[in-house]
Amino acid sequence: MSFSGLLDHTARIWRRSETLGTYLETVPGYDIVYPAVRCTLRRKSATLSEAGPGTVDVGTRTVYFKRGVILQEKDLVEFVTGPDAPDWMEVESRSRPRGHHVEARCSEFHGTPPEADS
């Protein structure tokens, strides 16, 4: 089986952006960088982390994309189709292309998901 045959998810990649508002204030937002990218992800590896008064499970997952996808830290990955869809993850770190793929370590996204402009 080829690497492309393992890509069982379709994701949309969002990147943070800033625009000027009516009164020239900075308005944060997100833009779609890749509307549909094939990818797959590894099972969650959970660790315990201190979060204020106590410990919580912190889950990270490695997401694999085909070579050519350029990711940045803090990009949002929206899983549109696949076994784990719908779900949102945030890119913590990414690797340089390795042969035929790009790896990104992602964590669960708990913020308000952006909405696509109509």
Q: Domains of the chain (ranges plus CATH)?
A: 3-108 (2.40.10.370)
Of 4-13, 21-30, 76-85, the range with the highest mean pLDDT is 76-85
- In the numeric block, the tokens 């990818």 are attached to 39
pLDDT of residue 58: 63
- Given a cut of 90, is residue 37 above it in pLDDT? yes
Give this prediction's pTM: 0.78
Q: Report the percentage of the chain scoring pLDDT > 70.
A: 80
**Conformational region of residue 3, where left means phi above 0, alpha means psi within -120 to 50, and beta covers everything else:** alpha
**Conformational region of residue 76, where left means phi above 0, alpha means psi within -120 to 50, and beta covers everything else:** beta
Stretch 21-28: mean pLDDT, rounded? 83
Residues 6+ away with beta carbon under 8 Å from 46: 57, 58, 59
Straight-line distance from the first to the last Cα atom of the chain, in angstroms, rounded to the nearest whole number: 39
Q: Which candidate, 33, 18, 28, places its Cα nearest to that of 76?
A: 33
DSSP tag of 5: G
Q: Residue 101 half-sphere exposure, CB side, CA atoms within 13 Å?
A: 16
pLDDT in tens, 66-118: 888 999 999 999 999 998 889 899 999 988 777 788 899 998 888 888 887 64
